[in-house]
Amino acid sequence: MPELSPEDWSLILASVGHSQDKDAFAKVFHHFGPRVKSLMLKYGSNNELAEEIVQETFVIVWRKAALFDADKAAASTWIFTIARNKRIDVLRRQNRPEPDMNDPAMAQDPIPNSEEFVSGKERALAVQRAIAKLPEDQREVLHRSYFSEETHREIAKNLKTPLGTVKSRLRLALSKLRTLIDEDIGEGSI
Amino acid sequence: MTVSHHITDDLLYLYAAGELDFGWSLAIATHLAMCPQCRHRNAMFEDVLAASLEDEEIAEVHTSVDDILGMVQGLPSLENTPDVEVIEKPVFPKPLRDVAGDLKDIKWSAMGGGIKQKIIHEQDGVISRLLYIPANKAASSHGHNGLELTQVVVGGFYDGDQAFNCGDMQIVGHESPHQPLAMSDGPCICLAVTDAPLQFQNLLPKLFQRAFRI
């Protein structure tokens, strides 16, 4: 099977939502399930917990698939956010505070101007291109080092500044990333 | 409402990764509800984190797709239904309402000088409180050992030569004393999240020692 593009995955995920397509769901599960599990292991979950998070994530993927909107998010990002929230739910028995798009007290987004509007799909692609251009050590900071046990031990030792260590490492990588994305899809988009 | 003091990249990224404790996440989610610009950056950071799903190695999953389909059998689809009927537009954004109720529900404790507070959440040393400062009044000056996030939800305040308006977030780091002064056009209400002073953890045993004469 040729490798599928992010756009293909958006279409496949959308068809899970539109027509409860079980074959499409199986494709999504076989592709993203092992990746979600790998990420959870890297976050420090043991095998059993990582498996549980995968199960609960894909139960939600099936039940929420009709809400997936390819203009707002890439399929991988949508699945990532579900897995992230499930992890918090499973570990802390707690909901993660997040803004609710239906909240009447929410400050509305400016109406997307046709020239400046960047869809979730385009944004995710620009992000992937930018990450690829980052120096290796900075890519590592974004994806790995602060999940590692070593970082957590370090944080535990410096109880007074629990966020300090992680924050200073991230700052540089994120600033570089923003510059790259600005060059790609235009100033002010991040 | 134009927000001019935003969440820093590092904090927002850790929020997007799901790595922050509840209190910090609450302050950030409240800011996001009030700031489309940071919401956009948050979405971008989620893309960055999700990209690791695409380029990482994979792990063996023991659950089959039929297992999952068995689990969802009979469960309804989850819809994104707006609140049925909102009679009055709430003052607090939803993440804050979920924890504290809306402004009218808050049972304040007076702290003197018209200043009031309400602790709305406390966990693992991270304390979230609402602060009410009447127009033209200043909260007491305080330093701090850790991090303090102050999200303005009503009105605004000055701190030194900086103005923090509705929607703004003030991020104060280690040991820099500060003193918010409410603006003159009305009361200021903020969500302030801090980590408890570290010495507190030693105080309790001392109190126990005294009480039980051990």
Does the pLDDT of residue A164 top 80, yes or no?
A: no
Q: What is the pLDDT of residue B140?
A: 75
More confident residue, B174 or A88: A88
Specify the range with the lowest mean pLDDT, choosing from A9-23, A104-118, B9-23, B134-148: A104-118
**Dihedral angle sign, alpha carbons of residues B65, A143, B125, B106:** negative
Count Cβ neighbours within 10 Å for each residue of A140-155 and write b for 16 or more, e otherwise: ebbbebbbeeebeeeb
Structural domain count, chain B: 2
Does the pLDDT of residue A45 top 70, yes or no?
A: yes
Give pLDDT tens digits for A88-140: 998 888 889 999 988 989 998 876 655 556 777 788 888 888 988 888 777 87
CATH number of the domain that residue B60 is part of:
1.10.10
Instruction: Kindly report the CATH number that applies to the domain delimited by A6-95.
Output: 1.10.1740.10
> Which tokens belong to B6?
């935003």
Q: What is the pLDDT of residue A182?
A: 82
DSSP string covering B152-205: EEES-EEETTEEE-TT-EEEE-TT--B--EE-TTS-EEEEEEEEPPTTHHHHHH
Range of the domain at B205: 103-212
From B206's Cα to the closest Cα of chain A, the distance in A is 21
Q: What is the ipTM of this complex?
A: 0.86
The CA R_g of chain B, rounded to the nearest whole Å, is: 21
Q: What is the pLDDT of residue A25?
A: 97
B136 with B61, same domain: the answer is no
pLDDT averaged over chain B? 85
DSSP structural state of residue B5: S
pTM: 0.87
**Pick from B80, B97, B145: CB nearest A160:** B145
> How is chain A split into domains, by residue range?
6-95, 115-185
**Pick from B25, B53, B174: CB nearest A35:** B53
Does the pLDDT of residue A78 top 70, yes or no?
A: yes
Please list every residue in chain A whose beta carbon sits closer than 8 Å to the beta carbon of residue B75. Answer: 59, 63
B123 with B65, same domain: the answer is no
From A156's Cα to the closest Cα of chain B, the distance in A is 13
Please list every residue in chain A whose beta carbon sits closer than 8 Å to the beta carbon of residue B53. Answer: 32, 35-36, 39, 76, 79-80
- Please give the residue of chain A at the shortest CA–CA distance from B42: A190
**Dihedral angle sign, alpha carbons of residues B115, B116, B121, B127:** positive
* d(C-alpha B142, C-alpha A174), whole Å: 31
Does the pLDDT of residue B174 top 90, yes or no?
A: no
Confidence of residue B176 (pLDDT cuts 50, 70, 90): low
* d(C-alpha A108, C-alpha B93), whole Å: 12
Whether residue B65 and residue A26 make contact (CB cut-off 8 A), yes or no, is yes
Whether residue B65 and residue A102 make contact (CB cut-off 8 A), yes or no, is no
Q: Is residue B86 part of a domain?
A: no
Give pLDDT tens digits for B91-132: 999 999 999 999 999 999 998 889 999 999 998 889 999 999
> Which tokens belong to A103?
């909240």
* d(C-alpha B71, C-alpha B129), whole Å: 40
Question: How many beta carbons lie within 10 A of that of residue A122, not counting itself?
Answer: 15
> Which tokens belong to A11?
């279409």
Q: Is residue B1 part of a domain?
A: no
Domain boundary among B80, B111, B136: B80
Does the pLDDT of residue A85 top 60, yes or no?
A: yes
From B123's Cα to the closest Cα of chain A, the distance in A is 11
Please list every residue in chain B whose beta carbon sits closer than 8 Å to the beta carbon of residue A22. Answer: 65, 69
Specify the range with the lowest mean pLDDT, choosing from A56-60, A131-135, B63-67, B204-208: B204-208
At the topology level, CATH places domain A115-185 in: Arc Repressor Mutant, subunit A (1.10.10)
CATH number of the domain that residue B193 is part of:
2.60.120.10
Confidence of residue A188 (pLDDT cuts 50, 70, 90): low
B65 with B107, same domain: the answer is no
Determine contact, residues B183/B146, Cβ cutoff 8 Å.
Answer: no
Does the pLDDT of residue B199 top 60, yes or no?
A: no
From A55's Cα to the closest Cα of chain B, the distance in A is 7
Whether residue B65 and residue A66 make contact (CB cut-off 8 A), yes or no, is no
Is residue A75 classed as helix, strand or coil in its secondary structure? helix
B75 with B118, same domain: the answer is no
Per-residue pLDDT averaged across A56-71, rounded?
Answer: 94
Does the pLDDT of residue A181 top 90, yes or no?
A: no
Q: Is residue B93 part of a domain?
A: no
- Mutation site, B46, B96, B104, B174, interface A, largest A CB count within 10 A: B46
Q: Name residue A172's amino acid.
A: L
